[in-house]
Amino acid sequence: MVARRKVAVVGVALSDCGRVDDATPYALHAQAARRALADSGLDRSLVDGFASAGLGTLAPVEVAEYLGLRPTWVDSTSVGGATWEVMAAHAADAIAAGHARVVLLAYGSTARADVRAGRRTGTLSFGTRGPLQFEVPYGHTLIAKYAMAARRHMIEYGTTIEQLAEVAVQARANAALNPEAMFRTPVTVDEVLVGPMIADPFTKLHCCVRSDGGAAVLLAAEEYVRDCRTSPVWVLGSGEHVSHAAMSEWPDFTVSPAAVSGRLAFERAGVRPDEMDFAEIYDAFTYMTLVTLEDLGFCGKGEGGAFAEKGRLRVEGGELPVNTDGGGLSAQHPGMRGLFLLVEAVRQLRGEGGERQVRRRGDGSLPRLGVASGTGGWFCSSGTVVLGV
Amino acid sequence: MTGRFDLPEPDAFTRTYWEAAAEGRLLIRRCRACGRTHHYPREFCPHCWSEDAVWEPASGRATLYTWSVVHRNDLPPFTDRTPYVAAVVDLAEGPRMMTEVVGTGSAGELSAGAELEVAFREGIPVFRVVPGAPGG
Ligand SMILES: [Zn+2]
C-alpha cells in the first residue's frame, strides 16, 4: 500500500458577507476563492481539484468555469449544510491518495437578498412528487421540523426552553467579539423567550439569521505546505453519515447523525472529544448546538441542556468555546453554512481570531485541536472534521 | 406567490393510497416476506427489499410522538391556515407518519403519547385527539 500523504488546510476566506444586495452568487464564490488563494500564497496553477454545490444545474461545472478552472478532480456532494465537511473529507482523501494536489472548496449565496428582492419565498417549497407527496399537505416547515425535534428532547430529558435560549445568548456574546458578525448586540434569555413565535417552541432568536455571503477553503498535499504563506492546519480525521429525508424515517429525534460522524472522525483522528480546545457546530437552530454537543461526546445524552448553561460555550471564560464567530444564530447563515465552520476553525487554530481568539485553559496558549461538525437538511446528514496544528 | 403548495402529486403506484384516503380509509404497506410494515408507501419493502409488499388498511389509531404549532409559513394556503399543528405520530401498526393534528385550540392541549385517531380533510389523512382518552 502506498503511504497516504498528509493534508492541510492552507487557505481560508469569506467573501463579503451579511447584507450584499448587488452581487450574484457567482461573484461571491469567486471573491471568496480569490481571497482564499491569496491567503495561502499558492499559485493558481496548482489548483487541480474543485468542489462546490448549490449553484448551477451541473454543479460544480458552472462555478468551475466562472473561476476559469479546468479541474481533474471534482466533487459536488450535496447534503445540505453538512456538504462542506463531507466535501473536505472527500478532498482530503483524494489528495492523500495522490489524485489531486490542491483542492478548492467554494460557496456563495444571496439568500437574504433573494428573499428581499422577491426572487424566492422565505419558506422553501421542495416539490410535491415521490416521497414529498406524503408531507407536502401538512406544512412541516424547516423550522417546524427542528422545533419538533427540540420538543421531543424536552419531553424525554426535561430540557428547558431557557436552556435552549442560553445557546442563542452565548452565540450572540461570541458574535459581539467578531467584527464580521451580522448581529453583535448582546441578548438575554428573556429577550429570546419573548420574541415572535415562529414554530413553537422556537421564537425568532432560536433561529439563525438569513444572510448573504460566501466562503472558500483550500486544501493541499503536505509537499505544498512549505510554499504557503500560512501555517498549516492539518486534517486529522473525518466522518460522515446520512440519516433520513422524511422526518417519519428518523428513528429518534433526540439523536442527530453527528453521533455517527463524530465517533468516526474522533476514532480516525485518534483523539478524544475532551481534547478539543473549541468546537464549531452547525447551528441553524439552538437545538442543533445542544444535541450535537451530546452526540459529539462533550456530554452525555440528555445532558446538553445543563451543559449549555453557565456560559460554558463562550469564548470569554467558557470551558468549551462553541461557535466562536457567533455561529449561524448571530454571525452568518446564507443557507449551507458548513464551510464557514471550517474557515472559523482554521482561523482559531492559526491564532487569527482577534478579539474572539480562543486561549487554552491553564497556560493561555493558542488552541491545538478543534472540531467542525456540519449538519444538513433537518438532521438528514452530518459531516465532522477534526483539525489540528 | 400564487397557487397551492399543499397538494400531493399522486403517481401510478400511490394512486391507490390517495383514492382510499378520499373514501376515508388510511392504508399502510405490509411486507409478506418479513412481515414488517412501512409508511410512506413504497412499491417494495424498504426493510428487506422484497417485492412482495401489499396494501393493508390501518386501524387509524396513533400516538403523538412530537409536534410544533406553526405560526409562520409564507407558502399558500398555509399562510391562511396558521397557527396549525405540524405533528409526527406513531401509527398503531408501527410506522411513523408526518401529519397534522386538527381540532385542537392550542399546543397546551397536547401531550406526548396522546391517543389520536385518523380524520380526513379534503381527502388528506390528518389526526385528532381521541375524546376522553388519556393525554388528550
Ligand atoms: Zn420485508
Looking at the structure, tell me whether residues B93 and B122 fall in a common domain. yes
Looking at the structure, tell me whether residues B74 and B97 fall in a common domain. yes
In B23-114, alpha helices (H) = 78-81
Distance CA(A365)–CA(A154), nearest Å, equals: 38
Higher pLDDT, residue B104 or A6: A6
| CB neighbours of residue A168 within 10 Å | 30
Q: Is the dihedral of CA A366, A320, A83, A267 positive or negative?
A: positive
In a domain, B72, yes or no: yes
Distance CA(A222)–CA(A241), nearest Å, equals: 27
Q: Residue A339's pLDDT is what? A: 98
Name the pLDDT band for B2 (thresholds 50, 70, 90): low
The answer, yes or no, to whether residue A142 has pLDDT greater than 70, is yes
User: How would you classify the pairing of strands A369-376 and A278-281?
Assistant: parallel
Which amino acid is it at A157? Y
Best mutation target, B70, B97, B116, B127, to test chain A (most A CBs within 10 A): B70
Percent of chain B with pLDDT strictly greater than 70: 93
| Ligand 1 centroid, distance to B21 Cα (angstroms) | 24
Q: What is the CATH classification number for the domain harbouring B82? A: 2.40.50
Looking at the structure, tell me whether residues B46 and B103 fall in a common domain. no
SS (H, E, C) B98-123: EEEECCCCCHHHCCCCCEEEEEEECC
ipTM: 0.95
Q: Residue B107's pLDDT is what? A: 53
In a domain, B1, yes or no: no
The answer, yes or no, to whether residue A120 has pLDDT greater than 70, is yes
Phi and psi, residue A373, nearest 5° = -125, 115
Distance CA(A75)–CA(A68), nearest Å, equals: 17
HSE toward the beta carbon, residue A220, CA cutoff 13 A: 26
Q: What is the SS3 assignment for A9? A: strand
Q: Residue B136's pLDDT is what? A: 47
Q: What is the mean pLDDT of residues A157-162?
A: 98
Looking at the structure, tell me whether residues B65 and B123 fall in a common domain. yes
Q: Residue B108's pLDDT is what? A: 60
Q: What is the mean pLDDT of residues A154-163?
A: 98
Which amino acid is it at A116? R
Instruction: Kindly list the domain boundaries of chain A, sorted by start residue.
Output: 7-117+208-388
3-state percent breakdown (helix, strand, coil) of chain A, nearest 5: 40, 20, 40
Superfamily of domain covering A7-117+208-388: Thiolase/Chalcone synthase (3.40.47.10)
Q: Residue B32's pLDDT is what? A: 98
In a domain, B45, yes or no: yes
Q: What is the SS3 assignment for A34? A: helix
What digits encode the pLDDT tens for the residues A318-372?
999 999 999 999 999 999 999 999 999 999 999 999 999 999 988 999 999 999 9
Q: Residue A122's pLDDT is what? A: 77
Domain extent for B36:
15-57
Question: For chain B, which residues lie within 8 Å of any Cβ of chain A, measuring from their own Cβ?
Answer: 1, 5-11, 14, 39-41, 65-75, 78, 81, 84, 86-88, 95-100, 107, 112, 124, 126
Mean pLDDT score of chain B, rounded to an integer? 93
CB A345 within 8 A of CB A235: no
**Contacts (Cβ under 8 Å, ≥6 apart) of B31:** B37, B38, B45, B47, B48, B50, B52, B53
Helices then strands, each counted (H, E), chain A: 12, 11
**Contacts (Cβ under 8 Å, ≥6 apart) of B62:** B89, B90, B91, B92, B97, B115, B116, B117, B118, B127
The answer, yes or no, to whether residue B21 has pLDDT greater than 50, is yes
Give chain B positions within 8 Å (CB) of A114: none
Looking at the structure, tell me whether residues B50 and B72 fall in a common domain. no
Looking at the structure, tell me whether residues B102 and B69 fall in a common domain. yes
Higher pLDDT, residue A2 or A144: A144
Element (H, E) at A26: helix A25-40
Distance CA(A290)–CA(A311), nearest Å, equals: 13
Give the residue carrying C-alpha cell 471564560: A317
Looking at the structure, tell me whether residues B68 and B108 fall in a common domain. yes
In A180-332, alpha helices (H) = 189-193, 258-269, 286-295, 304-307, 327-330
CB A278 within 8 A of CB A322: yes
CB contact under 8 A, A123 and B75: yes
What digits encode the pLDDT tens for the residues B73-127?
999 999 999 999 999 999 999 999 999 999 986 556 799 999 999 999 999 999 9
Looking at the structure, tell me whether residues B45 and B21 fall in a common domain. yes
Give chain A positions within 8 Å (CB) of B95: 248
CB contact under 8 A, B8 and A148: no
Task: Give the count of domains, chain B.
Answer: 2
In a domain, B46, yes or no: yes
What digits encode the pLDDT tens for the residues A245-293?
999 999 999 999 999 999 999 999 999 999 999 999 999 999 999 999 9
Cell of A375: 449538519
Higher pLDDT, residue A71 or B135: A71
Looking at the structure, tell me whether residues B102 and B68 fall in a common domain. yes
User: How would you classify the pairing of strands B84-91 and B61-70?
Assistant: antiparallel
Mean pLDDT score of chain A, rounded to an integer? 96
Q: Residue B88's pLDDT is what? A: 98
| Ligand 1 centroid, distance to B65 Cα (angstroms) | 24
In a domain, B105, yes or no: yes
